[in-house]
Amino acid sequence: MVKLHKYLLLVFLCLVNIPAALAANEKVVYHIHQTQADTLKRAINNIENLKKGMPGKPMDIRLLMQGNSIQLLNPSLQDKNLMARLLKLQDSGIHIEVSEKNYRHNRLQIESSLKPLLVENFFGRLIELQNQGYRYLTP
Positions in the binding site for another protein (CB under 8 A): 7, 10-15, 17-19, 22-23, 31, 33-35, 66-68, 99, 121-124, 126-128, 130-133, 136, 138
The dihedral formed by the CA atoms of 114, 115, 117 and 120, expressed in degrees to the nearest 10:
80
- Beta carbon nearer to another protein, 76 or 131: 131
Q: Is the dihedral of CA 52, 68, 118, 32 positive or negative?
A: positive
Nearest approach, Cβ of residue 91 and another protein (Å):
27
Are residues 86 and 114 in contact, defined by beta-carbon separation less than 8 angstroms?
Answer: yes
Nearest approach, Cβ of residue 73 and another protein (Å):
16
Q: Is the dihedral of CA 85, 88, 94, 97 positive or negative?
A: positive
Are residues 40 and 138 in contact, defined by beta-carbon separation less than 8 angstroms?
Answer: no
- Beta carbon nearer to another protein, 32 or 110: 32
- Beta carbon nearer to another protein, 68 or 92: 68
Nearest approach, Cβ of residue 138 and another protein (Å):
5
